[in-house]
Structure 1
Amino acid sequence: MAEQVPKSVLFACLGNTCQSPTAEAVFKKMRKWRIDSAATSTYEIGNPPDYRGQSCIEKHGVSMSHAGLVTREDFAAFDYTLCMHESNQRDLNRESNQVKNGKAKIEPLGSCDPQKQLIIEDRFYGNDSDFKKKKKKTVHQQCVRCCKAFLEKTY
């Protein structure tokens, strides 16, 4: 019997310092897929994920990584590309239209949110309390809700 290849997902946001690395870390804890995150711009390339997001995620027993820029090869390598904001989706769609063998389905992660919050909030310019577990509306909580709903939708 042939071994089943795991599905794959790439999470993308503008700088890959806050939202997409958080979604990547949350998803890694939920499912054994091929998972990565990347930026749609070069603004933060080479910088680590936001220290506040890292601190929040580490409390959940997962580590964050900081990938580079979304590449054209990513559109052929991943089954799904889940973005955090509609501007990310526009950038990704524009880039994917230039790829002949692209297979990645591009959609906002927030489109899966049972609370109908389409945009995964960008807390980069917020304060430390925006990353605390006790807050009702954190990047982490949004990502958990949306990733769970995404998995339910894909199975």
Structure 2
Amino acid sequence: MAASNSKSVLFVCLGNICRSPIAEAVFRKMATDAGVVDTWVIDSGATSDWNTGSSPDARGLACLRKHGIETSHRARQVTKEDFQTFEYILCMDENNLSDLKKKANSVKNATARIELLGSYDPQKQLIIKDPYYGSDKDFETVYEQCVRCCKAFLDTNS
């Protein structure tokens, strides 16, 4: 998937319809604005298979649009190959982290660095909470966290 001279990041949450597609879209826009998007493979996925093929949550899409960001992402489940082809797998909470580490242990030659996206947050908010059962304000909070974390991650990897 990733060319040898490119960097790669996979953003992961439980269903790949709220947090991870927001993070993916935010990071893609930042990389585009910085003129480095061509050097990155950027995607997102889910630890579950519940929403495979679905568009992101309408509230998440509305939040992104409000900030001038569009996405055409469709939900997908993380595959064994992702652990071999992505340099970074950045997830949203401890459950995602635990699920991903379990899955990575069953993959031969898994090389991805699995981390919490929140570990890059300058405000030290480690967990990006699932806004699915929340309000528009909760999606805005996820967006703001993703902006901070993605900026720090991009700065670290530029």
Alignment TM-score, normalising by the size of structure 1:
0.89
Identity of aligned residues (%): 58
Q: Which amino acid aligns with 1:60?
A: H
Deviations 1:101-146 (A, max 9, x none): 21110000001111111111211111223335xxxxx111000000
Q: Could you say what the CA RMSD is over the residues aligned between the two structures, in angstroms?
A: 1.6
Q: Work out the CA distance in 1 between the residues paired with 2:4 and 2:54.
A: 35
Q: Is the 8 A contact 1:37 1:66 kept in 2?
A: no
The answer to whether the aligner puts 1:62 opposite 2:69 as a matched pair is: yes
Cross-structure match for 1:47: 54
| Correspondence 1:58-137 to 2 at 5 A | 58-64=65-71, 65-132=73-140
1:135 aligns with: none
Kept in 2: contact 1:36–1:67 (CA 8 A): no
* Mapped partners of 1:150, 1:73: distance in 2: 23
Residues 56-94 of structure 1: CA distance to partner in whole angstroms, max 9, x if unpaired? Answer: 112333223123100000011111000001110110011
User: Which residue of structure 1 lines up, in the alignment, with residue 152 of structure 2?
Assistant: 149
Structure 1: which 5+ runs fail to align?
133-137
Greater relative contact order, per chain length (Cα 8 Å cut-off, separation 6+): 2
Specify the alignment match of 2:12 in structure 1: 12
User: Which 5+ residue runs of structure 2 have no aligned equivalent?
Assistant: 32-36
Change (3 A) 1:4 1:45: closer
Amino acid at match of 2:118: G
Q: 1:4 Cα shift?
A: 6.8
Provide the rounded CA distance (Å) in 1 between the counterparts of 2:148 and 2:136.
21
